[in-house]
Amino acid sequence: MVHHARGLPAVKAHALLAGLTFLPYVVHIPYSVNIVLHAALTVYVGSWRSVRDADGGGGPQEQMTNSDAMRFPLVGSCVLFGLFLCFKFLPKELVNLLLAGYITIIGAVVVVGAVLPFVERLFPAKERDRVIRFLTVPKIPFLVKEPFPLELTVPEAALAPPALAVGVWYFLTKGWLANNLLGLSLSIVGIEAMSLGSMQTAGILLTGLFFYDIFWVFCTPVMVSVAKNFEAPIKLLFPRSSLRAAALAGEKAQFAMLGLGDIVLPGLFVALCLRFDAQRQFRSSYFQTVFWAYCGGVAATIVVMNVFKAAQPALLYIVPAVLGAVALHAALRGEFKAVYEWQEEAADSGAADSAAGAGADGGSGAAAANKKAE
């Protein structure tokens, strides 16, 4: 797939997130603070990367429908329970070998996607879009339905070896840093590439996930059991104590965890609100409202977890925070109906019309968005 060079939104936030990821090797960060900062910066970065350029570059490529949103918690429940049964009746090592290997390969691919907007600008313009065909992937029963060519642009081909090295590093060591590099890439690219499509779809999805999270955490041991047994980059890990002190004492470091679903799924809604503001030329500020509500929901999860010394369903606190904040904001502005009925597809067509006239004053919504991100 050919990628076009585009703006680099939220560069400072990218740098902060990268620094925060490696910082525990230098200085201990309280895990509660670390969780909130990682979740907030990841959602912020993914949201700004999802804002589509005036020429259509970047932004979400897949859009969810209302029926997809209704099915999502049901499908997720089946997958979760299926994993629980696999860990219960099959050798844990075998299950992790198969699943971790599959997810690690996907993770290596998204590492390329996460870094690509920064690296491709280092190449000459004619090299950015030049496609290299490596081989044709054959049809594989149950995995690949139809043969397809494996093609990479020059920047993607340059990034592939280090990205695969990160995947191999994780697969061989299961180290927390390699895990987080893959998990953060999955989260950022997931928020960037997927759109909830409309505020109605977002409401349906998050409401369903609200009850999904409560049921599987509070009513059954399934969620916690799978999270503890599943050795794959589907969660972020945060050292509970100083890594240096643990190493000097010859002790194994202990980690707190945050599931990627608690970042990506509400992050899709935060990103949707940002694109809603962008489509309005930032005459509204729903993104600010929902972003800080998300941060508050994550912080509330950590507080309750520490008070009760038990795992908490993060969406129990995040979903009411983000949906309630946007609903209250819209009600106070007297535009609840307009916000509730907004659909991104219609907004994109409108944005395409307005982009033609943007050249008259030398500006564009995407350029303004990128400037505002900083």
Q: Which residues contact 278 (CB under 8 A, 6 or more apart)?
A: 51, 365, 366, 369
The DSSP annotation for 300-343 comes to HHHHHHHHHTS---THHHHHHHHHHHHHHHHHHHT-HHHHHT-B
Q: Which of 68, 129, 213, 277 is catalytic?
A: 213
Which residues, other chains included, contact 127 with Cβ-Cβ below 8 Å and sequence gap of 6+?
154, 155
Task: Provide CB contacts within 8 A for 309, sequence distance 6+.
Answer: none
Q: Return phi, psi of residue 233, to 5°.
A: -75, 55
Per the annotation, the verdict on 213 as an active-site residue is: yes
Q: How far apart are CA 248 and CA 360, in angstroms?
A: 64
Residue with tokens 């002190």: 245
Q: How far is CA 253 from the centre of its chain?
A: 26
Kindly give the pairing relationship between strand 194-195 and strand 62-63. parallel
Out of 55, 129, 262, 361, the active site residue is 262
State the catalytic residues: 213, 262
